[in-house]
Structure 1
Amino acid sequence: MSLKSIAPGQRITTRGEDFLITNIVTNKDGSQLLDSEGISELVKGKRFCFDTSIDTDIKAVDPINTKFIADTDNGYRKSKLYIETHIRNSTIYSDKITIATKAAFNTSEFQLTPTLKALQLPRPRLLIADGVGLGKTIEAGIFLAEMIKRGKGKRIMVLALKSILGQFQQELWNRFAIPLVRLDSEGIARIKTQLPANKNPFDYYDKTIVSIDTLKNNAKFRHYIEKSNWDIIVIDECHTVANAQSQRGDLAQFLAKKCESLILTSATPHNGRKESFANLINMIEPTAIPKSGDYTKEDVEPYYVRRFKNDIEDATVRENFQDREIVRLQTELSPEEVDFLSFQQELKIQALSALKRGKSKDDVLFSIMIFKAFMSSPMAALSSIENRLEKVKGLSSNSNKYEDSLDILKEHQSLLKNILDKKADSKYKKFKTTLMELGWSGKKKDERFVVFSERIATLKYLEENLIKDFGLSPESIKSFSGSDSDVEQQAIIEDFGKADSNVRILLCSDAGSQGVNLHFYCNRMINYDIPWSLITLEQRNGRIDRYGQKKTPYIYYLIAHTNQEAIKTDLHIINKLTIKEEEVYKTLGDAGSVMHLHDSYEEEKKTINALENSDEDFLEKIEEFDYLAALNTAAVITNSPFEEQTTIYNNDFEYYKQLLSQLESANLLKNSDYEINEVDTYLELANTKELNNILYDMPPEAKPKVNELFKLTMDKDLVQEAIENARKKKGDWAEFQILYDLHPAIKYYMTKLEASVPKEQALAVKLTTKLPKNTAWYVLHGQVSNNLGQPVISDFFVVGYNGSEIIESLPIANFIEKFELNKQLFNENMSPEELEALHEDLPNIISYATNTHMSKRQKVLSAKMFDKAVEYEEKLQKWEAASIKQVELNFKEMEETAAVKRRRENQTAEIESIVSESSQYFKNLLVLNNEAYIKVMAVFFNN
């Protein structure tokens, strides 16, 4: 047998040992890299990669050489398990959901939609742009589970904000049993002690989670990723990489070329500029967007999903959201605060008047920025003024600008100190009074609060005053900001999400407004200051108002108020942001669609402009068409989104029970290494030394110590309850893990069962009461891979033979049903002569399986693939022609200098490179010229 027909799941022999192929990568020169797991004694359980251009002694097991051995296990248990395990361990080629719904989450159609949509694409790559709090991590987990089942998720890298690395890692492990090695600063320090200095951690660990800033800022890591490739890369909060010119954006563009599948997630996937959204889509599919930059919904619609809470009609899903309550705490400004704001407003008026006379806008912006700082707290404003004073004192010469005037700065300083000295901070007084009215004193029994402020000085000010006024212990109040290290950020967030946490108030900068879950034991959030961006406000509120919140979320706003005409307009403008956010929450669901800017910084500029013009209606006058709001997508309605599982067993638990019992009877597992509770579908597995070594890349917090127990269950509710219980105590991970085929421990024992049948052997089962007389039924697995080495056809079928001709060929599911193999079977004696006769007929069976059955399957699928290839090639040619034409237009009016010529040639070369790579990829993806790999698993006969 030629090596071209080697496929995942096949056995090979090389270097005197036996291996099971788990993945294949075809090199440009036609040679192959074979990822394998050792199955013979010296290499058992270890992973290897063989290069067929170097390891020239690799031999594939030829199915014609298969010898049949009698299955002597009671009820032919071994044969049933061997067939079942092969079916479960095989890759699947399907555009439906095959396994993810067995994971520990409450299945809902809207969460399946991203994966179903991605599976329609040649390369499953998608932007998940669902609104705040809808569970994008779960949606990413569903996709990963499905790709792992398809053999396309062995190597995974997740990029996430440094604050949520642990949160994301736990979610994927607890719910999907997908292990990610966390490469935060502690994780990096740990692997430095475990790996040689020159060892690439991305080669050693197949599945990792890391901050994009770690990759961006660490030259050594950049070197590592340049030498690595992944099956899947997930980039969470991908709006942070939308700017292709930034370091983050450049890195993301690079990584998009280093993986087969790409998942981008963000509730704010664009900044209102078509080119920024195009950058994200181009990472997913380089030929989706015309080079002109003018694209339509039809161009990009296949590559993203975007839904909001109001789009979800599933009542069971909506039950996991609570209707929030808005509490507006009106705060009457003190006379001292009015004095400060009157001075600030007078400066603004003077600056605006000077602006009309042609002066710089700097003074207007200075007065507004001081107003913004003051709206956070008098202490934040004082901090800004005193920092500026220090700088001005060091200047050799002063300008006429407000920010350089010592007199103006000192007047600000004096007025602000007056407020603080007289304890005339009305907002803090209202905040303190509100806490007291709610019966809050910072004790362990009291409710928890999240308090957001954009200014670090305000957070420090609040911390000092709350400790003093309420007699708080340092453990009961914590502060979270972007200046904290990744480990500190994760520790704070994890602690606040635990029932045993001492933290009663978490003070957060807007670094905590994205991605982090703060809703587990907290349903009260205070916007101590109001961000001048609806997007930021929506993100803040979404920390506690999100999927899975069990109590009514209370959102508090501290609203400054005065009747002073010169001041109240600006206060009204800021308050309008909170009113509009609430309107959007109840209707559109997307705060970014209000200003049509889709960028928090641009929205702040819009608010500043409203303050300059005293425009209280600035949120009502926007009439431009929002091209991206028109791109919102509803859920994909699919009549049959699930792939039906072929199985010999009544249920999964019965299979796992029989699997372990069989391994025990074969002396491959000790009786003391596992315990089964059939009533509760619960399984305990000892983490033996052997298993512990195999699972070296599991999260250490989730892995039991050697000889301690994995607790696995099929009861989703029990796992989800365990996840809830783990939130009660700091450092705990879920006690129970989901029991299904993707759990690494189960996967290991399934592979061990496969390896228990020696190479070039298959099991024989004699059934005189169920099968027609003088017939033999050969159970085969046929697999065909494309030129990328990806299995495209994976067919389990049975060929019936009567000694002289083929009777019929039928799917294994039909064979199981027809001859009732899922019921009890009774062992019968088999003679060596009978087994030899079965072997002698094998050439006819293999010839039929290869040249008739699989050939027919290949021809049917190849015709479909050919049509797709023609469609993709036509689309590619249109994109190329339009792109070349656009380049010509771009340079038409330019003088033909050497620099211009180089730029034009570079752009043309880039287009040709994209077309060449895409064309070759589609050919490799859709061509099925490889010889079918046939594996003989068993034979059922009656002579």
Structure 2
Amino acid sequence: MHRLPEVGQLAVVRKRPFVVTEIVPSAPGLGSIGSEPNHLIKLSSVEDDGLGEELQIIWELEPGTSVYEKSNLPDPDSFDHPKRLQAFLDAVRWGAVSQADDKALQSPFRSGIEIDEYQLDPVVRALSMPRVNLLIADDVGLGKTVEAGLVIQEMILRHRVRSVLIACPSSLQMQWKEEMRDKFGLEFRIVDSESVSQLRRKRGIHVNPWNHFPRLITSVDYLKRERQLRSFRETLPSGDQPTFPRAYDLMIVDEAHNVAPSGRGKYATDSMRTLAIRSLVPHFEHKLFLSATPHNGYRESFAALLELLDNQRFARAVTPNRAQLDAVMVRRMKSELKLRWDGSRRFAERMVKHLEVPYTDEEREAHRALREYSELRLKQATSDGERMAAEFVLKLLKKRLFSSPAAFGLTLEKHIGTVGRSKASKATTRDIEDYSDDFADDEAYEAETSELVSAVSQGLSPTSAAEKALLRRLSEFAAKASQRPDCKAQALIDWLKATLRPGGKWNDERVIIFTEYRATQKWLFDLLAREEFAQDGRLEMIYGGMPNEHREPIKAAFQTHPKDSAVRILLATDAASEGVNLQNYCSKLIHFEIPWNPNRMEQRNGRVDRHGQKANEVHIHHFVGRGFDRASTTGKVGELEGDLEFLMRAALKVETIREDLGKVGPVIALQVEEAMLGKRSRLDTNRAEQDAEPVRRMLKFDRKLREQLERLASQLNDTKHELNLTPEHIENVVRVGLDLAGQPGLIPVEVDGIWPDPAGIRKTCPVFRLPALTNSWAQCADGLAHPHSKMLRPIVFDAALATGRDGVVLAHLNHRLVQMCLRLLRAEIWSLGSQSKHLSRVSACVVDDSALSHPVVIAHGRIVVLGGDNHRLHEEVITAGGALVEGRFNRLNVSETKAALAAITDIPAPASIEARFQDLWPKQRDALLSALEARRVERTKNLEKNLDELAEKEVNKIAAVMTELKRSIQLELTDKDNPQLLLDLGGDEPGRHQRERDLDALRRRFNEIPDEIARESEHIRSRFANPSARLFPVAVTWLIPRRAVHAVTGGKA
């Protein structure tokens, strides 16, 4: 029988050395030899050319395996330079992370970005949660993706997460992939139709895409498809019931409001997105939901979203408990984070500006004709169904007329060609209700819209002579106006010339022009091209459904410094806007039409008004009629200028109630629709704002934000100090790692603004070009290519030097280069001695006389504590040492050892001193190892006590949380479970059925809770049961005072 290795040990497999990273036993009775289980051993190569290669084997079935273990201190056959040993010890220390330690934060040092203190809150909270379920609901542009990345990174480091699934809008998949790679050094793979086809060509048609890689990104709309859901369920436990441990570790849902039940009637109802996510979340141990607008104004929708996040704290149809919501929700608004510690603005100030348009009589007449046609058409409606259908078409025509004559003309011609052609509509009321302008593909949206307009129009009453005349006039207008700039387009052209190309010469200003429709975008592109705005790559566009290979280079060019990229104007559709970062060198945005949906307008604004914006002001522009005055109402709703004024006032209202958009936004959208149909003349949100007050109070927490930010910054600084996480130490690790690997060293380079140092403070070059690395090390250049120019960028190790610069790359702890060096150094613990270059892991240095009275020898060891499920609970580096007094070893206490470590220098001891230490070693070895073992025993006792307390704390916490949930459900069932409530929803049939399903679910949940508390408690205790601690001695350091050196050498080195 093969002797089973342990996590962290070195095993020789297939005549090659690997480090054991994980051990997974088979389920009882499955795939076992006799009565003993088999073990899946996960291995990571430590060979020079195999670093980064991973292998999985069944240990009992793999021939020729052996375990290589060194449990003794290294012998001083040779000595490393103190800086080389320091690099090794740093590598070991930085790799030792404890699940039980909720203070140390390593993830910020493993990211290539500037992090604000407020962004640490989610990861700090995650460390204190047994099961991490967080709703990150920060304001648009505060960096929710970065906050999620920090949580992912920290959870992976602590061995609490391996598998991650990110579900997001399809337009954000590539952005998530790139940000995780470039900012956190994490590889994710996208699962979509194209990638699945490629995967099956490579690995066969039966491969399941959902378990082929541990970190995946997909779109919610792809995941909700029946075939994809079925494929995912094949990876879940039989019976589709969650097990311990869960099948998957972490699910992230970006723009999570999209998966909440949709609020259309009196009661929010489950969507396909809701049902898909609800079927999967029980199989994930941890969940992060991201949304700037988590509450859509429907209490039951918000409760259902919270239940998806954490069904042990929340239940659908139950008002969220305030304390439980406080525990899981992270929500800060820009208004709360205006100033940094020095009084400087943290975010740009948003300035809303209007561009006046001198509309012509011809354009006014077109709008008047459409209004008249709308009035006639609605008068002809003979039923509520026909009125609803007519209003759908008329609203769409009006929205598209406000956008452009090109967009209007397409829909108008479809309507004219089909109106009144059939006695019965081919579209149902549900088709109209289900129609959504929330889409990912512009071309598909245009096709769906055209098809629905045709189907709806066919069922309308035939047109009268007056109506036909109006339609003919509108058609002629659209055809003529589409061939030239209308007044609004001309105003845009004039603004572009004055702002971006004054005097005919381009400057470095940039602008994003948003439009709702692809047809308008194409029309605008052609108009601007005629004005020579498209020459030399100055004008680009992105839209929903655009192939990534075309879209991503355009985004990269727009995000690159204007001196290196020609693009100045970006035409973007709404389908391309959600979550996209475009703020690097652009602070101006134009809404070519004012969206009727306030959330959409805020999404657009958030592309430039977000974390990372360098300008002091962000300018948001809207078009208005000439003579618009913010302080007075002059236009008449129904006329062109009056309608535009109403829309502009809606836009201004959105600015004042941004924090309440979830509740007030739908009211504004409804009132805009009513105004555009002639049913309303005044915008009135007073009642909605009053109704939003309870929601505002629910989502607002008194966290004493300033004190919290100070505490988070202090926690980060403590970690940096404790782990020696300085640029100099990281650079040293890379230099030593490259040397051990036999690779060429870093090459200093000059970079403007960095080296030579403009301030004249730095004495050594801090920026380097990566040499041509060979074999698997060549992959260290991944991510160095500039997104736009594709030129390889130099690296820096100081985050301050990378801030605000896209011409250099920060080599953080999780950068591939640093990671490979760290892993190679850590592998030296298990060095076989046959490698051409390796460390002796022994060093001797000379220290100041004031630091020590006698020479000291210190042993460094690594403790690994495994829990009952064979997963690491704790890992740390410990030290123990003794003073050498008259040839004897006098053990130091903890504080004396700490003081000696602080005295270590980079000055190597002379060879004669090293020889003395070698002579003394046989007498000191056992005593030093005993001291290290004694220190292990001390730490283990404390750790076991802490782990026991942590287990009971988690058990008590889960019991209290679920008991409170049971009480809340009982109150809901007692107060609300009555036929009268269901009758109140009689006019909303889908809502009534949804409410019945919710109540049934509550009853089931109420009965499940006691058994679930028992299962959860058992699982927690088993995870912490019988912790076993192992000691791995890793290095020895001698320190000798300068006077002692002189006494031995006579003052000669």
Q: TM-score range by the shorter chain?
A: 0.7 to 0.9
Cα separation, 2, equivalents of 1:847 and 1:483 = 62
CA separation of 1:880 and 1:188: change in aligned 2, threshold 3 A: same
Aligned residue number for residue 323 of structure 1: 349
Q: Does 1:514 align with 2:588?
A: no
1:929 to 1005, 1012, 1026: 1026
Aligned residue number for residue 492 of structure 2: 431
Q: Aligned with 1:36: secondary structure?
A: strand
Q: Aligned with 1:484: secondary structure?
A: coil
Aligned residue number for residue 742 of structure 2: 669
CA separation of 1:699 and 1:234: change in aligned 2, threshold 3 A: farther
Matches within 5 A, 1:345-360: 345-346=371-372, 348-349=374-375
Aligned residue number for residue 264 of structure 1: 289
Q: Does 1:810 align with 2:894?
A: yes
CA separation of 1:435 and 1:415: change in aligned 2, threshold 3 A: farther
Q: Does 1:410 align with 2:468?
A: yes
CA separation of 1:702 and 1:202: change in aligned 2, threshold 3 A: farther
Q: Aligned with 2:402: secondary structure?
A: helix
Cα separation, 2, equivalents of 1:687 and 1:905 = 65
Aligned residue number for residue 1050 of structure 2: none
Cα separation, 2, equivalents of 1:715 and 1:290 = 47
Aligned residue number for residue 712 of structure 1: 795
Cα separation, 2, equivalents of 1:305 and 1:86 = 34
Q: CA deviation at 1:538?
A: 1.6
Cα separation, 1, equivalents of 2:895 and 2:40 = 32
Query: What whole-Å deviation, never above 9, does each CA across 1:37-58 have from its counterpart, x for those lacking one?
Result: 1236896652123456766998
Query: What whole-Å deviation, never above 9, does each CA across 1:713-770 have from its counterpart, x for those lacking one?
Result: 11334434541x4xxxxxxxxxx32123222222212221232344699855678998
CA separation of 1:48 and 1:392: change in aligned 2, threshold 3 A: same
CA separation of 1:218 and 1:931: change in aligned 2, threshold 3 A: same
Does the 8 Å CA contact 1:532/1:607 hold for their aligned counterparts?
A: yes
Q: CA deviation at 1:2?
A: 13
Matches within 5 A, 1:788-807: 789-800=870-881, 807=891
Q: CA deviation at 1:592?
A: 0.6
CA separation of 1:296 and 1:638: change in aligned 2, threshold 3 A: farther
Give the stretch that moved more between structures: 407-416 or 450-459: 407-416
Q: Does 1:395 align with 2:422?
A: yes
CA separation of 1:389 and 1:679: change in aligned 2, threshold 3 A: same
Cα separation, 2, equivalents of 1:468 and 1:831 = 82
Aligned residue number for residue 143 of structure 2: 135
Aligned residue number for residue 624 of structure 1: 691
Q: Residue type of the partner of 2:287?
A: L
Q: Residue type of the partner of 2:124?
A: L
Does the 8 Å CA contact 1:538/1:591 hold for their aligned counterparts?
A: no
CA separation of 1:741 and 1:326: change in aligned 2, threshold 3 A: closer
Query: What whole-Å deviation, never above 9, does each CA across 1:185-221 have from its counterpart, x for those lacking one?
Result: 7766776776666556665654444444444559479
Aligned residue number for residue 857 of structure 1: 943
Identity percentage over the alignment? 19
Q: Residue type of the partner of 1:493?
A: K
CA separation of 1:737 and 1:209: change in aligned 2, threshold 3 A: farther
Q: Does 1:69 align with 2:83?
A: no
Cα separation, 1, equivalents of 2:1002 and 2:612 = 53
CA separation of 1:804 and 1:254: change in aligned 2, threshold 3 A: farther
CA separation of 1:493 and 1:615: change in aligned 2, threshold 3 A: same
Q: Any gaps of 5 or more consecutive residues in structure 2? A: 29-36, 237-246, 262-268, 426-456, 628-632, 750-762, 834-839, 983-995, 1041-1053
Cα separation, 2, equivalents of 1:664 and 1:902 = 63
Cα separation, 1, equivalents of 2:870 and 2:917 = 41
Q: Residue type of the partner of 2:766?
A: T
Q: Residue type of the partner of 1:862?
A: D
Q: Any gaps of 5 or more consecutive residues in structure 1? A: 726-735
Cα separation, 2, equivalents of 1:54 and 1:881 = 52
Q: CA deviation at 1:312?
A: 0.3
Q: Does 1:223 align with 2:236?
A: no
Q: Does 1:879 align with 2:965?
A: yes
Does the 8 Å CA contact 1:71/1:79 hold for their aligned counterparts?
A: no
Query: What whole-Å deviation, never above 9, does each CA across 1:228-282 have from its counterpart, x for those lacking one?
Result: 9655443332222334944444444455445444332222233222333334433
Aligned residue number for residue 669 of structure 2: 604
Q: Does 1:738 align with 2:810?
A: yes
Aligned residue number for residue 161 of structure 1: 169
Q: TM-score, normalised by structure 2?
A: 0.74
1:691 to 773, 776, 798: 776
Aligned residue number for residue 655 of structure 1: 729
Q: Aligned with 1:293: secondary structure?
A: coil
Does the 8 Å CA contact 2:420/2:459 hold for their aligned counterparts?
A: no
Q: Residue type of the partner of 1:506?
A: L
Cα separation, 1, equivalents of 2:420 and 2:978 = 54
Cα separation, 1, equivalents of 2:77 and 2:720 = 22
Q: CA deviation at 1:367?
A: 3.8
Does the 8 Å CA contact 2:768/2:795 hold for their aligned counterparts?
A: yes
CA separation of 1:296 and 1:874: change in aligned 2, threshold 3 A: closer
CA separation of 1:582 and 1:297: change in aligned 2, threshold 3 A: farther
Does the 8 Å CA contact 2:306/2:315 hold for their aligned counterparts?
A: no
Q: CA deviation at 1:88?
A: 1.4
CA separation of 1:700 and 1:449: change in aligned 2, threshold 3 A: closer
Does the 8 Å CA contact 2:11/2:66 hold for their aligned counterparts?
A: yes
Aligned residue number for residue 241 of structure 2: none
1:458 to 520, 524, 532: 520
Cα separation, 1, equivalents of 2:1001 and 2:52 = 53
Cα separation, 1, equivalents of 2:767 and 2:21 = 29
Backbone CA RMSD of aligned residues: 4.8
Aligned residue number for residue 88 of structure 1: 94
1:285 to 310, 317, 342: 310
Q: Does 1:237 align with 2:237?
A: no
Does the 8 Å CA contact 2:257/2:295 hold for their aligned counterparts?
A: yes
Q: CA deviation at 1:531?
A: 1.0
Q: CA deviation at 1:815?
A: 5.5
Aligned residue number for residue 402 of structure 2: 375
Q: Residue type of the partner of 1:331?
A: V
1:276 to 291, 301, 306: 301
Q: Residue type of the partner of 1:655?
A: H
Q: Aligned with 1:138: secondary structure?
A: helix
Give the stretch that moved more between structures: 880-889 or 576-585: 880-889
Cα separation, 1, equivalents of 2:731 and 2:492 = 59
Q: Aligned with 1:797: secondary structure?
A: strand
Query: What whole-Å deviation, never above 9, does each CA across 1:431-461 have from its counterpart, x for those lacking one?
Result: 3444455575998826544222223333333
Does the 8 Å CA contact 1:610/1:618 hold for their aligned counterparts?
A: no
Q: Aligned with 2:956: secondary structure?
A: helix
Q: Residue type of the partner of 2:874?
A: I
Q: Aligned with 1:868: secondary structure?
A: helix
Query: What whole-Å deviation, never above 9, does each CA across 1:51-77 have from its counterpart, x for those lacking one?
Result: 5676699876666x4253115225455
Q: CA deviation at 1:854?
A: 0.5
Does the 8 Å CA contact 2:112/2:811 hold for their aligned counterparts?
A: no
Does the 8 Å CA contact 2:171/2:578 hold for their aligned counterparts?
A: no
Aligned residue number for residue 21 of structure 2: 22
Aligned residue number for residue 411 of structure 2: 384
Q: TM-score, normalised by structure 1?
A: 0.82
Does the 8 Å CA contact 2:510/2:585 hold for their aligned counterparts?
A: yes
Q: CA deviation at 1:310?
A: 0.8
2:824 to 733, 744, 752: 752
Aligned residue number for residue 553 of structure 1: 618
